[in-house]
Chains A and B, each alone.
Chain A
């Protein structure tokens, strides 16, 4: 940054003062700073308030937000605030809260000059039994922006900014629950004479600083078919951190205060650079290239280790996209990505990492008419992890996919998809080496007799092979093959009465690679039929009857000693049937009352006695979606779910469920 900052400043200043033409409208979507468009309309947005409460089995969340803003030809104002709290139900006093308030004022002093003030204030807090913590973040940024168009097809924009930053954090732990920290003991001369373990029960930290920054963008469009946008930004902050630690020394119950003050001697520098070039050629040719570079330093207070930490990132990358339509209905595309991301910590060296990524993708999509579509895609990803304490190595993924569909007639259509992939983990520590191969094919079709009557059927097979390379893990290598049939039928008996059925047949074979693991080979089969009958009795009431049937068996699928064929020996059979009836009533517009009663019967046969279980379930609920109080809108649902198991003996548990679930939102404009 130190070397690059002057270059950026000179380049941007030159761009600013060379300009003689007035700035035109920006031609790029990647605009830095404030867009011209917010000043063009006189727009008043009403004060909007939204509040919602969501309750599930374990948490209750209350969220409120308030927004206001207006736009004028000379200035624009936008403000927003939101706060949400999460309470742990059944654990009073425990939970979390987070909120933000932000405001922005933009003033157009002249046609090309904009002055802005931007404030953001965030707070988050958590409460649990062993700690209470609060973090606040205050930001106030003042910026000035100037735009010029020095030549035809060239736009230049620069933003100079200064941001005041404050971060507060406070954590309180009960006596005896302090976090241990090693402190250096110094004598009267300031020389270290030893170390001491200090149990921190209260730590508060204030980090403050001013971040000065400069951002610039040059947009060059010499021809209709070519555009280049370059932007660069740099900023610097020298933060000061003061920590107050309170707690006790090892073996002592005496509460003491310690103060650590760290004045940033090394500034935090942030530099970003990005260029994008776009070329549009004949016959649908579109190609663009984007390169970027980011260098960031971020000093922060590590609340886990209770010390000042510095996190540095050096990232550079490039993306390329090429797309052309050589034939009618055919689009061919090519994508490539190169990326290098190096992250480094001053103290937490175990989190340092360098990740290099190369990815490529080639695809072709053929869509000559509404009756036919087809596509083919091949992806390859290469990731290399290095400079880490562990997990260094390569991860390579290849993926191939082909899809197609064709409508043979007005009623009959066919479709299919096939994929193959291989993910290979090649670590420096080769014990973890593993290859995962997958293949999948699905073929099926649909037949539509009429608008109200149709059916679809699909057959699929998938095969997964996990191959651990090292002998310490390879004995578990196995091939899992799944054969499946999915079918669905829709029958509209009358305009009000409809019947839907979904069928599923499934068999999963898990066969281990090594003969020594023959006894572990298993087969699992499932049959499932779901039936839904729906009837809209009256305009204000509907009725739905559902029946779910599931049959599942499972057992070994292995050769007996000396045998040739694998035999299936069922170890367990399960049958589950559920019948449920639902009635929905609409007493007034926008309000629906619902009640669902269901009974689930589970029967399990295995080597022991057959077990039978009946579970009753009753759900009562209401849904609202309607305007109230003039221009306010209330939407939401409230539901009570109760369930229990039928006792077969007096000592059996009821396994009762008694839950309220709710989600209600009120929106009002003032």
Chain B
């Protein structure tokens, strides 16, 4: 490349590297195996209600786990009940529970569960909606029925979930914050269920 300055040559080389990396299949996903089982219906998250519907319909479901994990914002954080966190010590299993952790955890639960029902039974406090209408905090009382070998003999998980929904720059709603709390039932919480399946990540 005669006549070009060294900086220009470096920039040209970098751009060529970009095209080379993008063009040689480095970012090409694998092809699925032939066939195709039953699909699930995943609502576009253009409202918090759609996000809630996707969570309840697909949380521990193998075919729909991607629909659930798509509802999580990149900044997602899960906060366990303080007593659950204390009970786990010195194991800091709840530390840095971000979106990547939640995705892998939910996938593990979905793979292990043979029966599942998730329900938000009621809202135990009024919703908090930000002035610009782009953030909502909802306070749910929930119960889950999960049949899975790794949490047996527990099958019922109950508690309270304070969930923050945020409308991001792409105008879609996602979950940014999930605070788990025990209720008075004495049942294990959603946080305990999650904890059991976080192994190796």
Q: A residues engaging B (CB < 8 A)?
A: 57-58, 86, 88, 90, 96, 124, 126, 128-131, 133, 135, 177, 298, 300, 303-304, 311, 327-330, 350-355, 364, 366, 368, 374, 376, 378, 383, 385, 388-391, 398, 400, 402, 420-422, 424-425, 429, 431-437, 439, 462, 465-477, 482, 484, 486, 504, 506, 508, 510, 512-514, 516-517, 520, 522, 524, 526, 528, 530, 546, 548, 550, 552, 554, 574, 576, 578, 580, 596, 598, 600, 617, 619, 641, 643, 655-659
Contact between A657 and B39 (Cβ–Cβ < 8 Å)? no
Q: Could you say which residues of chain B place their CB within 8 Å of the CB of A619? A: 131
| B150 CB within 8 Å of chain A | yes
Q: Could you say which residues of chain A place their CB within 8 Å of the CB of B70? A: 466
Given known A385-B201, A400-B27, A421-B27, contact A659–B44 (CB-CB < 8 A): no
Contact between A129 and B184 (Cβ–Cβ < 8 Å)? yes
Contact between B41 and A520 (Cβ–Cβ < 8 Å)? yes
Given known A466-B66, A526-B46, contact A389–B39 (CB-CB < 8 A): no
Cα A355 to Cα B35 with chains together (Å): 33
Candidates B17, B39, B172; contact of A376 at CB < 8 Å: B17
Q: Could you say which residues of chain A place their CB within 8 Å of the CB of B95? A: none
Contact between B30 and A598 (Cβ–Cβ < 8 Å)? no
Which 9 interchain pairs have the tightest Cβ spacing? Answer: A129-B184, A435-B29, A353-B200, A475-B39, A474-B32, A526-B171, A471-B35, A126-B83, A130-B186
Contact between A378 and B36 (Cβ–Cβ < 8 Å)? no
Candidates A327, A390, A391, A467; contact of B29 at CB < 8 Å: A467
- For the complex formed, measure the closest distance between the CB of B148 and the CB atoms of chain A, giving whole angstroms: 11
By beta carbon, the residue of chain A nearest B29 is A435
By beta carbon, the residue of chain A nearest B107 is A432
Contact between A376 and B14 (Cβ–Cβ < 8 Å)? yes
- For the complex formed, measure the closest distance between the CB of A504 and the CB atoms of chain B, giving whole angstroms: 6
Contact between B126 and A420 (Cβ–Cβ < 8 Å)? no
Q: B residues engaging A (CB < 8 A)?
A: 6-7, 10-11, 14, 17-18, 21-22, 26-42, 44, 46-47, 62-67, 70, 81-83, 86-91, 104, 107-108, 111-112, 125-129, 131-133, 137, 139, 150, 162, 169-172, 181-186, 196, 199-201
Q: Could you say which residues of chain A place their CB within 8 Å of the CB of B41? A: 520
Candidates B40, B88, B199; contact of A350 at CB < 8 Å: B199
Cα A472 to Cα B82 with chains together (Å): 38
Q: For chain A, what secondary structure do more than half of its interface residues adopt (helix, strand, loop), or is it mixed?
A: strand
Besides the contacts A576-B133, A596-B131, A617-B129, what 14 more A-B pairs have beta carbons closer than 8 Å? A58-B162, A351-B91, A390-B150, A420-B22, A422-B26, A437-B28, A466-B70, A471-B34, A472-B63, A474-B36, A476-B40, A524-B172, A528-B171, A578-B132
Q: Could you say which residues of chain A place their CB within 8 Å of the CB of B162? A: 58
Q: For chain B, what secondary structure do more than half of its interface residues adopt (helix, strand, loop), or is it mixed?
A: loop
- For the complex formed, measure the closest distance between the CB of A471 and the CB atoms of chain B, giving whole angstroms: 4
Contact between A471 and B44 (Cβ–Cβ < 8 Å)? no
Q: Could you say which residues of chain B place their CB within 8 Å of the CB of A88? A: 181
Candidates B137, B171, B186; contact of A57 at CB < 8 Å: B137
Given known A303-B87, A526-B171, contact A474–B33 (CB-CB < 8 A): yes
Contact between A129 and B170 (Cβ–Cβ < 8 Å)? no
- For the complex formed, measure the closest distance between the CB of A643 and the CB atoms of chain B, giving whole angstroms: 8
Q: Could you say which residues of chain A place their CB within 8 Å of the CB of B17? A: 376, 378
Given known A126-B82, A133-B83, A484-B170, contact A469–B36 (CB-CB < 8 A): no
Q: Could you say which residues of chain A place their CB within 8 Å of the CB of B132? A: 530, 546, 548, 578
